[in-house]
């Protein structure tokens, strides 16, 4: 099998990739196992993709690990997921440090169990000086909540007179989001064949290229990532312009 990595154009990589890691439960069920087994195996994919993104020079990787809606799952599954999160961070933090990966968390941090908050905060602090890949975990995350929280912040600034209504720009709004420190993702990948956004980065994905693959997350490997990158590189990002305009803009000027 050809290594797809050799075909990826390193000069045209997205700066930020966002992934909805989906299909763990079905993957486990297909093997006659409990859904939680799929979550365990999914951690191997996380490690592999964090590695792959670091190696190739991606600057930001956001992984949707737990949505606010996921709190509605059976308690045993939620508990297992939180425990897995704590154990994984505990186990991986040394490697993150070594591999120059900087950890961030977005979402409703306060709603996570105390032990989880503590482990995350420590890992964030321990990796704060790293300058390689920024790994952003979306935990207890809801894009609608994020947008509402930003709106409240802006409303409060307007009410106090710190900000004029006419100064509420896209940029100001962006600065009030959880993701204010990161550029918008150019590429969003969702595994498992589902073709929806599920309350993920609704504001930030406005012009992202969306890539859907039937592969379940526990089977997702570096070659699948390269496949997504190749697909991304075959697309023409027009941002409302015509194809002719894009081609003239990118033609070398003599
Ligand atoms: C994604 O896999 C992991 C989380 C949402 C935490 P799922 O658990 O949603 O797996 P499926 O979609 O039920 O197969
Ligand atoms: C989205 O997956 C959330 C995560 C991957 C963490 P879900 O499996 O929860 O999404 P829906 O409910 O099928 O849309
Ligand atoms: Mg799912």
Residue 214 has what pLDDT?
98
Residue 254 has what pLDDT?
57
Residue 48 has what pLDDT?
98
State yes or no: pLDDT of 1 exceeds 70. no
Q: Could you say which ligand is closest to the alpha carbon of residue 33?
A: 1
Could you tell me if residue 79 is inside a domain?
Answer: yes
Instruction: Out of 25, 66, 70, give the residue to mutate to test ligand 2, the one with the largest number of ligand atoms within 8 Å of its CB.
Output: 70
Could you tell me if residue 48 is inside a domain?
Answer: yes
pTM check: above 0.85: yes
Could you tell me if residue 248 is inside a domain?
Answer: no
Could you tell me if residue 156 is inside a domain?
Answer: no
User: What CATH number does residue 202 fall under?
Assistant: 3.40.1180.10
Could you tell me if residue 241 is inside a domain?
Answer: no
State yes or no: pLDDT of 253 exceeds 90. no
Could you tell me if residue 81 is inside a domain?
Answer: yes
Residue 251 has what pLDDT?
82
SS (H, E, C) the chain: CCCHHHHCCHHHCCCEEEEECCCHHHHHHHCCCCHHHHHHHHHHHHHHHHHHHHHHCCCEEEEEEEEHHHHHCCHHHHHHHHHHHHHHHHHHHHHHHHCCCEEEEECCHHHCCHHHHHHHHHHHHHCCCCCCCEEEEEEEECHHHHHHHHHHHHHHHHHHCCCCHHHCCHHHHHHCCCCCCCCCCCEEEECCCCCCCCCCCCCCCCCCEEEECCCCHHHCCHHHHHHHHHHHHCCCCCCCCCHHHHHHHHCCCC
Structural domain of 128: 13-142+183-234
Number of domains in the chain: 1
Q: Could you say which ligand is closest to the alpha carbon of residue 69?
A: 2
Residue pLDDT, tens place only, 166-215: 999 999 999 999 999 999 999 999 999 999 999 999 999 999 999 999 99
State yes or no: pLDDT of 249 exceeds 90. no
Could you tell me if residue 249 is inside a domain?
Answer: no
Residue 242 has what pLDDT?
97
Could you tell me if residue 6 is inside a domain?
Answer: no
């Amino acid at each position: 099998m050809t290594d797809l990595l050799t075909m990826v154009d390193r000069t045209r990589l997205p700066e930020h990739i966002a992934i909805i890691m989906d299909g763990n439960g079905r993957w486990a069920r297909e093997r006659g196992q409990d859904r939680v087994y799929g979550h365990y195996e999914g951690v191997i994919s996380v490690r592999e993709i964090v590695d792959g993104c670091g190696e190739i020079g991606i600057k930001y990787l956001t992984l949707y690990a737990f949505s606010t809606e996921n709190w509605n799952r059976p308690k045993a599954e939620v508990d297992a997921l939180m425990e897995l999160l704590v154990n994984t961070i505990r186990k991986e933090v040394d490697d993150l440090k070594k591999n120059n990966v900087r950890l961030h968390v977005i979402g409703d941090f306060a709603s996570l169990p105390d032990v989880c908050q503590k482990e995350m905060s420590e890992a964030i602090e321990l990796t704060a000086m790293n300058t390689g890949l920024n790994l952003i975990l979306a935990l207890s995350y809801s894009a609608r909540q994020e947008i509402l929280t930003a709106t409240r912040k802006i409303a409060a600034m307007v009410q106090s007179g710190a900000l004029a209504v006419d100064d509420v720009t896209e940029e100001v709004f962006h600065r009030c989001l959880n993701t204010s420190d990161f550029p918008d993702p150019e590429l969003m990948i969702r595994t498992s064949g589902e073709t929806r956004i599920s309350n993920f980065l609704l504001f930030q994905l406005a012009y992202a290229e969306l890539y859907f693959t039937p592969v379940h997350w526990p089977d997702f490997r570096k070659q699948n990532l390269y496949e997504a990158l190749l697909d991304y590189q075959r697309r023409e990002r027009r941002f409302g312009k015509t194809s002719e305009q894009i081609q003239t803009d990118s033609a070398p000027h003599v």
